[in-house]
Amino acid sequence: MNEIQYIGEQLRPGQLGHFFVIFSFVMALFSAFSYFFATRDEQHNSNSSRVWMLIGRNTFILHAVSVLSIFIALYYIISHHLFEYNYAWAHSSRSLPMKYLLSCFWEGQEGSFLLWSFWHAVLGIIVMFTSKQLESRTMTIIAIIQVALASMVLGFYLTPDIKIGSTPFMLLRDKMVDAPVFAQANYLALIKDGNGLNPLLQNYWMTIHPPVLFLGFALTLIPFAFTIAALWKNDYQTWIKPTRIWSSVAGGVLGLGIMLGGAWAYESLTFGGYWAWDPVENASLVPWLTLVAGLHTLIVFKATQRSLPITLIFFILTYTLIWYSTFLTRTGVLGDTSVHAFTGEGNSLYWHLLVVIGFILIVSTTLLIKRWKTLPRIATEEATASREFWMFIGSFVLLLSALQISISTSIPVWSPLAKWITGKDIAPPSDPVSHYNSIQIWVAIIIALLSTAALYLKFKKTDVKSFWKKTALLAAVAIVVTIFIAVAQKITGIQYILLLLASVYAVLANSYYALAMQKKLKKMGPAISHLGFALLLLGILISSYNKEVISLNTLGVTMDFGKKTQQENIKESRENSILFLNTPVAMSEYMVTYKGDSVSDADPRTFYKVLFDRYDTSSKKLVESFMLYPDAFINPKGQEGLMANPSSKHYLNRDVFTYITSAVDPSKVEDTASYVKHTVKKGDTIFLVNGYLVFQDFEDANYSDNTGALSVKARLKAYDLKGEAGELKPVYSITEDAFQNSKEDTLRSFNVYAKFVKVNPTDGSIDLLIKQRDPKDDYIVLKAFIFPYINVVWLGIIVMFVGFILTAINKILKKETVKPTSKA
């Protein structure tokens, strides 16, 4: 077969990109080996060690530069719409605004691995210049991980069946070898546009959330690298400071990244909340929990030389879990259980990730076992009234919490085994939210209490009397506040009251601790992050406990849904409410009216105008009125149905939140209404289904020389039950040869169409043709919620993030008085 000479392909960027992929892989490998040799020769041959170190550094910098170059090459391909490349074709389109081009980048598997690798490269360079004696060891680890990540985008065929990695620079014609279009040399002229970005991802959250989340992922590598370095060197003092700093930053950024995902889900997806205990969310929460646990036991170790083994385990576990979460979300193993699991790359990625996880686990556990006997330990028992004791307990509770979430999330992973043993095909809980909530609420209560009480305890030995004095006082205030909130918010149920009490106490006591006892801002880090956590818990409790679905449907039939959870079933089943055009429906304290839709050429979405009016209950006066614009893509990309984005009204103390679940498809509506003739004089009224029109006067009488036509408008005012609702001005014209013409006008919100067809000089009346589409032909189905105090959730996240960063800054600025280490 002859090779086809394809026309118009730009192969250079792809070739360059692919070259940098291979180069970055080789350089990372080179750097890993060099740093490894630098470490090996450290003791007995410092000259050789220095040379290796130099090579290691330079190759890592070259690696980082080539990762950046891959980035630029791929960005060039996407931004220049080079659809000869599969990546550009699959993830972007010409009409996509500039601001979303970066989002295309990480919509795909390869791009997100690149993003991850990019952050590693940046962090690696910072570590290179700051880690001093631990440089060769930490950088060996970082470079090895970079080798693993670079291999993910290699796209290298070991044998025709075994592929290692998947390259983003693959040509479309290589991806779809059999497609007939590629038999033509000028196939590019036929491919007009790419597949485009999934409409759900076309918003600013998709631009912010992945980079922050991946930075969080990448940051967990650094404490892990220092942990391995410490084990490797068998020196457990020098790693403490950098690990504390990096794990604080990682805790802050990863936490922020996760909750940005939550905010995204809340703001622009239709999950009806910020957290659904979806496997993808859980998968990134679990390593955060173990990271935070490790961060705390490390503080214990620093202060008391206790808890070293568990600290090491926590950091190793955290990093393994990061890769495990990638495994869960990328390979499609979650399959049926997750709403937003990515599509799998197939078998090759599955095994590839397993190999990486296996490698991380084997290296770290071997090292840990080897050092286990020699790890410094303290034989005596810690005091019960000491900070370290309760911090340790708290960290352990976090571990148990992570364990529970992991077991439930990993059901699809272990269910084949369970089926083999028990014969049952285990599925995730029918109601995952209550499954996790009912267990994790106890964790939340314990952590809220411990995170506060531990601050009031001192390391080693505390004066118990003064501790209880302060605690009793704060607890008394907390109880009063709790009773107040519980009554106001109508919170019942022992676990909810306890969580409320614990989080209120934590908010109060952490604030008091920060302001009255720490005083200096730079020392407030821990208290502020704990305060943020407490606010988060409080926000979660109040916003979800009193989340109210206000769009409960009152039309239709109530169905019988089994007895056990009837109340819930009915609620669940009737959350969708139908709104006919201009027909107000009562929802909670609002009168909600659908006022029509609008489309523009610039935006593929349809916006629906939904008016919310709130009347005073006693005086019946309108006190507030606002419009929400939930939107939807109607039949996007040839799909059937609509893809909706919510819209919400934010108040300080609550959000009113709504999204469309169904709407009339304009392409499928048949116009059933017909025109009716009305002969009217000035001041006459024409009655409509939901209001009336008044013919007021003629307007703009005009004679045009060009056309030889006399034209005049009729001004019609439309009124509905509340008053004036708009104007229509249909045009009538007559030419010299008595040829009559008319131009229709419409009032969209009224769905009324008017034609002015005749003037009757005998009595001054005019003939109008009026058509009103039945409002029942135009409707939307929506869900509407009220989230009370949702802002407390966001505030909590921000405060917690600030606390983490403040802690890190304080540690960076602190001049460490170098303690004589046990093994110098």
Partner 1 sequence: MKKSHIVLLILIAAALCVIVSMFGDFSTYETFQSASAQPGKQYHIIGYLEKDKEMHYDPVKDPNHFSFYVKDKKGNVNQVVFSGAKPIDIEKSEQIVMSGYMEGNTFRCNKIQMKCPSKYQKDQVAVGKG
Using rule CB under 8 A, residue 179 touches partner 1:
yes
Shortest distance, position 668 Cβ to partner 1, whole Å: 13
Q: Which of 27, 128, 172, 353 binds partner 1 (CB under 8 A)?
A: 172
Using rule CB under 8 A, residue 662 touches partner 1:
yes
Shortest distance, position 435 Cβ to partner 1, whole Å: 5
Which part of the chain contacts partner 1 (CB under 8 A), choosing from 3-11, 245-253, 395-403, 649-657?
Answer: 395-403
Identify residues 191-210 at the interface with partner 1 (CB under 8 A).
Answer: 191-193, 195, 198
Identify residues 434-463 at the interface with partner 1 (CB under 8 A).
Answer: 435, 439
Using rule CB under 8 A, residue 384 touches partner 1:
yes
Q: How far apart are CA 37 and CA 40, in angstroms?
A: 5
H-assigned helices in 239-278? 240-268
Q: Which is nearer to partner 1, 561 or 719 (CB)?
A: 561
The number of residues that bind partner 1 (CB under 8 A) is 70
Using rule CB under 8 A, residue 8 touches partner 1:
no
Using rule CB under 8 A, residue 489 touches partner 1:
no
Q: Which of 190, 421, 721, 824 binds partner 1 (CB under 8 A)?
A: 190
Shortest distance, position 388 Cβ to partner 1, whole Å: 9
The DSSP secondary-structure symbol of 513 reads: I
Q: Which is nearer to partner 1, 472 or 555 (CB)?
A: 555
- Sequence-ordered list of residues with C-beta below 8 angstroms from that of 370, at least 6 positions apart, any chain: none
Q: Which is nearer to partner 1, 396 or 687 (CB)?
A: 396
Q: Which of 37, 392, 732, 801 binds partner 1 (CB under 8 A)?
A: 392
What radius of gyration, in Å, describes the C-alpha atoms of the chain? 33
Identify residues 96-155 at the interface with partner 1 (CB under 8 A).
Answer: none
Identify residues 310-349 at the interface with partner 1 (CB under 8 A).
Answer: 335-337, 339, 343
**Strand runs labelled E in 581-675:** 585-587, 590-600, 603-615, 622-628, 631-634, 642-645, 647-650, 654-663
Using rule CB under 8 A, residue 416 touches partner 1:
no
Shortest distance, position 728 Cβ to partner 1, whole Å: 27
Burial class (CB in 10 A: 0-12, 13-18, 19+), 511: middle
Using rule CB under 8 A, residue 305 touches partner 1:
no
Instruction: Find the Cα–Cα–Cα–Cα dihedral 541, 545, 547, 548, rounded to 10°.
Output: -170
Site string for partner 1, 550-569 (x = CB under 8 A): ---x-xxx-xxxxxx----x
Using rule CB under 8 A, residue 183 touches partner 1:
no
Shortest distance, position 376 Cβ to partner 1, whole Å: 17
What CA–CA distances, in Å, run from 143 to 53, 59, 151, 156, 442?
13, 10, 12, 20, 41
Shortest distance, position 777 Cβ to partner 1, whole Å: 9
How many other C-beta atoms are found inside a 10 Å radius of the C-beta of residue 605? 22
Q: How far apart are CA 728 and CA 746, in angstroms?
A: 6
Q: Do 466 and 458 form a contact (C-beta atoms < 8 A)?
A: no
Q: Which of 393, 517, 586, 669 binds partner 1 (CB under 8 A)?
A: 393
Q: How far apart are CA 727 and CA 219, in angstroms?
A: 61
For β-strands 779-788 and 548-549, DSSP reports them as antiparallel
Q: How far apart are CA 41 and CA 52, in angstroms?
A: 9
Which H helix or E strand runs over 396? helix 387-409
Shortest distance, position 5 Cβ to partner 1, whole Å: 20
Q: Which is nearer to partner 1, 580 or 629 (CB)?
A: 580
Site string for partner 1, 621-660 (x = CB under 8 A): ----------------x-xxxxx-----------------
The DSSP secondary-structure symbol of 789 reads: T
For β-strands 731-735 and 740-743, DSSP reports them as antiparallel
Rounded to 5°, the CA angle 318-109-405 comes to: 35
Q: Which of 36, 226, 389, 750 binds partner 1 (CB under 8 A)?
A: 389
The DSSP secondary-structure symbol of 574 reads: T
- What does 182-243 look like in DSSP terms, one character per residue? GGSTTHHHH--------GGG-SHHHHHHHHHHHHHHHHTHHHHHHHHHHHHHT--STTHHHH
Identify residues 742-781 at the interface with partner 1 (CB under 8 A).
Answer: 776, 779, 781
Which part of the chain contacts partner 1 (CB under 8 A), choosing from 113-121, 205-213, 389-397, 688-696?
Answer: 389-397
Q: Which of 16, 22, 208, 411 binds partner 1 (CB under 8 A)?
A: 411
Which part of the chain contacts partner 1 (CB under 8 A), choosing from 148-156, 379-387, 588-596, 723-731?
Answer: 379-387
- Sequence-ordered list of residues with C-beta below 8 angstroms from that of 375, at least 6 positions apart, any chain: 236, 308, 309, 312
Using rule CB under 8 A, residue 407 touches partner 1:
yes
By the criterion CB under 8 A, which residues form the site for partner 1? 89-90, 172, 176, 178-179, 181, 190-193, 195, 198, 335-337, 339, 343, 381-382, 384, 389, 392-393, 396-397, 400, 403-404, 407-408, 411, 424-430, 435, 439, 553, 555-557, 559-564, 569, 572-578, 637, 639-643, 661-662, 776, 779, 781
